[in-house]
Chain A
Amino acid sequence: MTDYRIQGQTGEWEVVIGLEVHAQVTSHAKLFSGASTAFGAEPNTQVSLVDAAMPGMLPVPNRECIRQAVRTGMAIEAEINRWSRFDRKNYFYADLPQGYQISQLYHPLVGEGQLLIDADEKAGIAQDKVIGIERIHVEQDAGKLMHDQHPTMSYVDLNRCGVALMEIVSRPDMRSPAEAGAYVRKLRSILRYVGSCDGNMEEGSMRADVNVSVRRVGEELGTRTETKNVNSVRFVMQVIEYEANRQVDVIEAGGSVDQETRLFDVATGTTRTMRSKEDAHDYRYFPDPDLLPLQLEDSFLDECRASLPELPDAKRRRYEEELGLTPYNARELTAEVETFARFETLLSATASATGKPETKVATQVANWALSVAPGVMKSVGEEGDAANATAERQAAILAMQDNGEISGGQAKEIFEIVLREGREPAEIAETEGLKQVSDTGAIEAEVDRILAENEDKVEQYKAGKDKLFGFFVGQTMKAMKGKANPAVVNQLLKERLG
């Protein structure tokens, strides 16, 4: 796999990407007021006097929001600043009642950290890569303007105003749309593991400002543009692709890239100028005099650290090293919170159903969870009910398969019936006759009959034609209507054929 390059008229260009991800902090209350943060409420029903910036109102930091940001910082192995401070970012807009956003410019809560994106041949990421994270700071979200409610007026909804955001600023360490996509996915995964952000990009809980520049390979960094508020992984990748090509075209046509803020147009997949450098705001940042500096105690940090769950990279390592899963399976199972949660529940249920340690059944469970079960569910489609597929039922199927009562094929058939009808696997196996025959007597009879009917082939086998062993197995299985335990069949044939 070669590096991602833009092929220009005059040669190859390298793309340099940095991302600022705004992640809404999971908290019932806003960053500086007690108002609720639930999504989708009627406009202006979740607004406190503080959010509306009534005269004399004051912000008071919400400890839970700070805690979540600190935990997030710890999850990316970042330096946590025990002393940080809030600054005011001043600008006028109707969705910003205070006339300033409370943010952290000079002394952010979280300092240098890093995030590992995994090698993914298919996506064009040749090897694991560490992406630097410069900082995470905490800030208020703004409200929302609605321009379609009145012919001449704009309406303001302040429900979102004051909700806590983490701004997670990467280093310009990414070099392709794929890497940026992997970064956002991995970051989202970590946030969801930690529980500090629900990662719901459609609802705007996570959005990215995408910084892109291009340069000749090995040369100095070019001028960057910043495309604001991109709200899906796919769009982030589209923005990079479009911007990189646009910038190369501009430079190769003899122009220069303007440092500017741009907007992404979802409909056309293109970006356009939002405001140029000349129109850039002077935000007049200064320390918010309504708030004292944040000083974090050891006990608070200890509690944050102790409350962290096992994180994706550690979990993946453990799956490989302790459970013996393949790198692919380990990565797939740990990518999303829901996936590993389902896997671990099923693993535990299967271990107790088989009476074996988890390490002995992990591979079987992983294959089931990643390929067998999804395959069956897909083929059953709408006719099945996923709620029927409880961990206990799946574990029961896997246990029957493990002790040879049923074959792999039967396991699928039983699961299909479970999905459709919600019945118990043991009962299904019994009632539907979906069981392997391990009864040596019944199999022996068939084996002897088949060997007797094929004396010529037995001779050939004994003369050294080993391949014929498969023929005998096949004949036996066919005679047993596929229900014979293959292990027993193999063993009997070996005994007879010597």
Chain B
Amino acid sequence: MLDIIVVGAGPAGMTAAIYARRAARTVLVLEALSYGGQIINTPDIENYPVEAHISGFDFSTKVYEQAKGLGAEFKFEKVVGIRREEGAFVVETAKNAYEACAVILATGSENRKLGLEDEQKLTGRGVSYCATCDGNFYRRKTVAVVGGGNTALEDALYLSDLAEKVYLIHRRDSFRGEETNAARLMERANVEIVWNSNVTRLLSDKRLTGIEVTNKVDGSVRTIELNGLFIAVGRVPENQNFASLVNLDEAGYVVAGEDCHTSCEGIFVAGDNRVKTLRQLVTATADGAMAATEAVKYINSL
């Protein structure tokens, strides 16, 4: 039996693995896709101490190699469930089952979808969730961003340097994102803000050709012709598979304080899927350190 299983190989999970190995505990990291998590989409990290500039993928590779070098084991299998069995936890993947004394949930979050018909089908055919990844395809084209938080504002700013015209569609009459970003955006001549409105339909002909936008206040419907639609309406935690084991808040985040203890003894949580006020690389890695340290304490108490 293993000491610790970490679910998720993002910055939080891999840091947990480093701390577990430094405490001489055996650790297996299970990951559905590839190491790195959400941060691999970031072309340039400028706010993590030590390096002024590093790409998210290079950062992840360094952390992965560090954890591997310390003896952490990685397997690329999707976790489908966890159950408790006689003082241990059985973590099930599609093909295998692994046993450990303690589990750290570091599953992160995924892009929130609008939930519109054909959204999935048009992803990559005009619909995108990553302006920095796909913005280059829309040079001198017409695009729209949906959302009102910081990501939406930053995406709209970024795209306004590339695209001919940028619509920003927001369901409220003011932004939740930072004032400075909002102010900079208002100054851009090629940005049009569509307030109090929801995207209610995706129009397509093999690829996205436009959107239908409905004004929430007066109910008016408008069609906007587009080449690209960037969806930035937040993220949702990936905790659905563990809802029967640990308490989640109404938004689906695992309820735990700074000590990363969940409602289930022996299960800890680290990173973006935990209830917290600041979701950043540095707070994710901090959680990883804390969760592993607490998991080791728990194992020592058995």
Chains A and B are bound partners: no
Q: What is A's interface to B at a CB cutoff of 8 Å?
A: none
Q: What is B's interface to A at a CB cutoff of 8 Å?
A: none
